[in-house]
């Protein structure tokens, strides 16, 4: 009797759930080995000092973290990363917003425009890096040539080899690669804003920017939050473009956290320090996600 009821429950509710997990089991095993265990291992490494000459590990508590916080190079990369993330998010958001708005207004050729606008997003990192190295080339680059022809500059600009400009030049290249996803996210959000709302605002005589700022932006808030979160995470996780285009230079002006961790691990063989720095990076990302969840929840609350 009890067994029978148990069987019935298995068959109706838990049975299907168990079968579901069985279907997922191979994936869960691989993810445990390829994601979860390495992440835990990395956490462990952060508390050890690796001696490359003797290939030995020694436990040293929080020393790796203390060492980071006392290191000028760490703080340099911390601030460089903040500027990098803020610049990327800002530029991608501004570009993505206006382009999404324009796409939303037109009907004809929308598919053709968006097909071209999505190209950078599917371009290989290395190709983008090579492309912009070539465009930014001081003597042979087309950007300087264009600016000289237009009379906007009087002599070639050293885009990537001057500490003041390298970061901005990198941000422009990186934003070129990543704006399409922000654009798509905001465009999808805009499609949910009823046309009548926009129209009514225009008829009521609200100024264009007032309409945008008071009506469209608040309605878009969830999409904007998602776009900001995504480009923030990508910003923190960046590596390929900076290492190829500037390798952190000149004078550490573009040494974002990813490059700092890479150099610590594979140039200095400070595995413990690199692991600790990657945890600091991860904590920053988690803080952003937490901020997003709070912000997005508050924004979504009145609607649902």
Partner 1 sequence: MSGRSRTAPGLTALAYVFLGLTTVVVAFPYLWMVATSVKPIEEFFTYPLQWLPAAPTARHYLAVLEDSRFLRALLNSTIVATVVTAISIALAVPAAYGLVRLAGQRGRPMLIAILSAQFFPPMIFFIPFYILLAQVKLLNTLTGLVFAYLSVTLPICTWMVATSLRALPRELEEAARIDGCSDVQIIWRIVLPIARPGIITAGIFAFVLAWQEYIFALLYTTTPAAQTAPVLMFYYLGQHQIDYGRLMAASVLLSLPIALPFAIIQRHYRQGRNEGGVKG
If binding is defined by CB under 8 A, does position 24 make contact with partner 1? yes
d(CA 62, CA 47): 6
In the complex, least distance from residue 279 CB atom to partner 1, rounded to whole angstroms: 8
**Binder to partner 1 among 237, 251, 290, 297 (CB under 8 A)?**
237
Three-state SS at 57: strand
If binding is defined by CB under 8 A, does position 111 make contact with partner 1? yes
Binding segment (CB under 8 A) for partner 1, from list 2-10, 12-20, 157-165, 186-194:
12-20
If binding is defined by CB under 8 A, does position 2 make contact with partner 1? no
If binding is defined by CB under 8 A, does position 265 make contact with partner 1? yes
Nearer to partner 1, 1 or 149 (CB): 149
Three-state SS at 59: strand
**Binder to partner 1 among 135, 166, 227, 228 (CB under 8 A)?**
135
Nearer to partner 1, 105 or 298 (CB): 105
Binding mask 148-167 for partner 1 (x = CB under 8 A): -x------------------
Give the strand pairing for 56-59 and 48-51. antiparallel
If binding is defined by CB under 8 A, does position 287 make contact with partner 1? no
Question: Using an 8 Å Cβ cutoff, are 135 and 246 in contact?
Answer: no
Name 48's bridge partners.
Answer: 59
Question: Using an 8 Å Cβ cutoff, are 255 and 82 in contact?
Answer: no
C-alpha distances in Å from residue 259, one per residue of 2, 22, 237, 274, 279: 62, 40, 10, 10, 14
Nearer to partner 1, 45 or 186 (CB): 45
Scanning residues 170 to 199, which ones bind partner 1 (CB under 8 A)? Answer: 176, 195-196, 198-199
**Contacts by residues 106-115 (CB-CB < 8 Å, ≥ 24 positions apart):** 114/184, 114/187
If binding is defined by CB under 8 A, does position 16 make contact with partner 1? yes
Q: H helices of 238-270, where? A: 240-245, 257-266
In the complex, least distance from residue 4 CB atom to partner 1, rounded to whole angstroms: 23
If binding is defined by CB under 8 A, does position 59 make contact with partner 1? no
Closest CA to 242 of 263, 261, 256: 256
């Amino acid at each position: 009797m009890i067994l029978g009821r148990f069987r019935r429950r298995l068959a109706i509710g838990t049975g299907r759930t168990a079968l579901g997990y069985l279907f997922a089991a191979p994936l869960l095993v691989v993810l445990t080995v390829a994601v979860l265990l390495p992440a835990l291992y990395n956490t462990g490494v952060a508390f050890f000092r690796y001696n490359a000459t003797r290939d030995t590990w020694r436990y040293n508590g929080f020393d790796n973290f203390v060492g980071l916080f006392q290191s000028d190079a760490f703080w340099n990369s911390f601030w460089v990363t903040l500027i990098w993330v803020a610049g990327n998010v800002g530029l991608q958001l501004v570009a993505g917003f206006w382009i999404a708005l324009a796409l939303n207004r037109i009907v004809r050729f929308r598919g053709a425009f968006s097909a071209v606008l999505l190209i950078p997003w599917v371009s290989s990192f290395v190709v983008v890096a090579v492309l912009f190295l070539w465009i930014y080339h001081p003597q042979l680059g087309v950007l300087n040539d264009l600016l000289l022809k237009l009379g906007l500059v009087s002599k070639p600009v050293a885009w990537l080899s001057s500490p003041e400009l390298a970061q901005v030049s990198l941000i422009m290249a990186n934003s070129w690669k990543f704006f399409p996803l922000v654009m798509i996210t905001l465009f999808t959000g805009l499609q949910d804003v009823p046309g009548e709302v926009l129209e009514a605002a225009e008829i009521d005589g609200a100024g264009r920017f007032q309409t945008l700022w008071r009506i469209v932006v608040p309605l878009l808030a969830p999409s904007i939050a998602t776009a900001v979160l995504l480009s923030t995470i990508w910003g923190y996780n960046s590596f390929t473009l900076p290492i190829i285009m500037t390798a952190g230079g000149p004078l550490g002006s573009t040494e974002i956290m990813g490059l700092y961790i890479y150099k610590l691990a594979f140039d200095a063989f400070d595995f413990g320090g690199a692991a600790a720095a990657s945890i600091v990076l991860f904590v920053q990302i988690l803080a952003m996600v937490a901020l997003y969840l709070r912000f997005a929840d508050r924004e979504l609350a009145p609607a649902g």
